[in-house]
């Protein structure tokens, strides 16, 4: 595997990853901006609309038909949240030229399609095409509704909203339903122009062979855009713990209660914090799974997760309402056990094995490289999975204990049934 990152211009980075085992090319153009309640929904709809049509293929049906003729190529849009940042992506995948019949140049055709989608969308200079816009507006409304209907995920998002109140991280990357409903083809087009001018751009291209045409094409396209002065975005920002943990409760139409605890840390030893979280509740060998779920049967599920962009840790659980306090007490008790050093080398070894398996899987598919190296870019380095694995293996028991001791309970969120069932 060959990795190379370079700057195409101020606030425009280009990363090329070559791995000969693949047969497809994958391109991702990421627009990075601050999470903001006034713009999250507009940005999401705008970027989604870019992947729906362009000035050459003016309907989704026309674009889909053209992509199907290119060996089932695809163009897509994606929106994610990382800490205080909204990451909006326009991506594409296609069969590499080396595997096309009769020397077809699929890459050149796909570059034209993607460039047209990003730089020449189906718009009249003031607003997006209404049909294309409505497809993505309705898609976004469905995603927002799905967030609410997925009660486990909704509980976590509500806990984060409480934990990170006053910080951009409290907001959903999709925005609120009211903002999405109020969006128009004109306001979404304006949001698109703002992103093109002001967002930080990070481009990733994964291919089985070196191909400078992608870099050259996109560099020329962005060079023709009048961009604003570079802005520095904070990809990681620690959140200060409250003086006393905040308790929030919501009663909804559910059969099973959900409880989410959010802890915050000022310890910068992120490898130790991640390994500690893995021992605590990220595997079937973990303390939470073995004790809270299996031994004491207090939860239907109980798992921890480390959020490195905010240096925080969450524990989410599904629990009977009558067991909420017992479950919370035992979840906190298991953390105390780690703080006291009451865990074995086998706990560390099992957790390292789990982390190694996840790191080894990076590179199994092209998109996993993009996810990994974008994550490392946000962390300020370009470390390979192997290098991070070495860092995990160097973590001592003492560092794990110190990581656990640094955690402060900030938020307890409980979702319970409207009435006992």
Q: What is the pLDDT of residue 420?
A: 53
CATH code (residue 145): 3.30.830.10
Are 160 and 13 found together in one domain?
Answer: yes
Whether 151 is in a domain gets the answer yes
Quick check: pTM over 0.85?
yes
Q: Is residue 178 part of a domain?
A: yes
Q: What residues are paired with 76 via a beta bridge?
A: 91
Q: Are 14 and 5 in contact (CB under 8 A)?
A: yes
153/292 same-domain check: no
Please tell me whether residue 286 adopts helix, strand or coil conformation: coil
pLDDT of residue 363: 92
- Supply 25's token pair: 């090319």
Domain presence at residue 340? yes
Number of domains in the chain: 2
Q: How far apart are CA 175 and CA 39, in angstroms?
A: 8
DSSP labels, 330-371:
HHHHHHHHHHTT---HHHHHHHHHHHHHHHHTTTSSHHHHHH
Instruction: Looking at the structure, tell me whether residues 283 and 182 fall in a common domain.
Output: no
**Nearest alpha carbon to residue 157 among 234, 13, 258:** 258
DSSP code of residue 201: E
**pLDDT per position in the chain (421 positions), as tens?**
999 999 999 999 999 999 999 999 999 999 999 999 999 999 999 999 999 999 999 999 999 999 999 999 999 999 999 999 999 999 999 999 999 998 899 999 999 999 999 999 999 999 999 999 999 999 999 999 998 899 999 999 999 999 999 999 999 999 999 999 999 999 999 999 999 999 999 999 999 999 999 999 999 999 999 999 878 888 999 999 999 999 999 999 998 999 999 999 999 999 999 999 999 999 999 999 999 999 999 999 999 999 999 999 999 999 999 999 999 999 999 999 999 999 999 999 999 999 999 999 999 999 999 999 999 999 999 999 999 999 999 999 999 999 999 999 999 999 999 875 4
Neighbours of 149 (CB within 10 A): 9
Place of tokens 């074995």: 344
Cross-strand bridge partners of residue 123:
128
Indicate the residue among 188, 223, 258 that finishes a domain: 223
Cβ atoms of 14 and 8 closer than 8 Å: yes
Closest residue by Cα to residue 222 from 119, 348, 303: 119
Which residue has tokens 């507006």? 137
DSSP string, 92-108: EEEE-GGGSGGG--HHH
Q: Are residues 284 and 380 in the same domain?
A: yes
Domain co-membership, 142 together with 54: yes
Is 28 inside any structural domain?
Answer: yes
Integer angstrom CA distances of residue 139 from 176, 186, 336: 14, 18, 44
The answer to whether position 256 is within a domain reads: yes
CB-CB contact of 413 with 260 (8 Å): yes
Dist. CA 276–CA 351, nearest whole Å: 9
Whether 183 and 268 share a structural domain: no
* Block residue for tokens 């703080």: 339
345: domain range? 246-417
Tokens of 413: 């969120």
State whether residue 396 is helix, strand or coil. Answer: coil
Task: Give the per-residue pLDDT at 114.
Answer: 98
Q: 3-state class of 150 per DSSP? A: coil
In this structure, is residue 241 part of a structural domain?
no
Do 144 and 276 fall within a single domain?
Answer: no
- Cα dist from 199 to 10, 48, 231, whole Å: 11, 16, 8
């Amino acid at each position: 595997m060959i990795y190379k990152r370079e700057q195409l211009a101020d606030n425009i980075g280009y990363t090329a990853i070559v791995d000969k085992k693949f047969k497809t090319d994958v391109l991702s153009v990421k627009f990075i901006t601050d999470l903001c309640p006034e713009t999250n929904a507009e940005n999401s709809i705008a970027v989604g609309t870019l992947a729906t049509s362009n000035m050459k293929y003016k309907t989704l049906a026309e674009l889909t038909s053209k992509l199907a003729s290119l060996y089932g190529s695809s163009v897509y849009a994606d929106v994610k949240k990382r800490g205080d940042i909204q990451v909006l992506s326009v991506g594409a995948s296609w069969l590499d030229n080396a595997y096309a019949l009769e020397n077809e140049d699929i890459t050149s055709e796909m570059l034209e399609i993607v460039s047209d989608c990003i730089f020449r969308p189906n718009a009249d200079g003031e607003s997006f095409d209404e049909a294309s816009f409505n497809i993505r507006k309705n898609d976004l409304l469905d995603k927002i509704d799905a967030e609410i209907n997925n009660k486990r995920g909704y509980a976590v998002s509500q806990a984060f909203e409480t934990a990170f109140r006053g910080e951009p991280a409290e907001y959903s990357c999709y925005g609120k339903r009211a903002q999405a409903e109020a969006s128009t083809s004109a306001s979404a087009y304006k949001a698109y122009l703002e992103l093109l001018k002001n967002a930080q751009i990070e481009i990733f291209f994964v291919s089985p062979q070196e191909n400078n045409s992608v870099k050259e094409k996109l560099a020329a396209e962005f060079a023709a855009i009048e961009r604003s002065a570079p802005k520095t975005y904070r990809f990681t920002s620690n959140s200060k713990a409250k003086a006393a943990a905040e308790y929030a409760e919501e009663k909804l139409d559910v059969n099973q209660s959900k409880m989410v605890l959010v802890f915050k840390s000022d310890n910068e030893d992120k490898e130790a914090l991640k390994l500690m979280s893995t021992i605590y509740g990220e595997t079937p060998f973990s303390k939470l799974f073995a004790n809270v779920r299996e031994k004491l049967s207090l939860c239907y599920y109980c798992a921890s997760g480390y959020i490195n962009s905010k240096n925080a840790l969450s524990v989410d659980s599904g629990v009977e309402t009558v067991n909420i306090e017992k479950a919370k007490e035992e979840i906190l008790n298991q953390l105390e056990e780690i703080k006291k050093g009451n865990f074995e080398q086998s706990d560390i070894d099992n957790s390292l094995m789990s982390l190694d398996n996840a790191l080894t899987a990076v590179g199994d598919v092209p998109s996993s490289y993009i996810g990994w190296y974008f994550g490392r870019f946000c962390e300020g380095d370009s470390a390979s999975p192997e290098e991070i694995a070495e860092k995990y293996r160097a973590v001592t028991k003492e560092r794990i204990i110190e990581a656990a001791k640094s955690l402060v309970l900030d938020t307890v969120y409980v979702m319970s049934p409207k009435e006992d069932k």
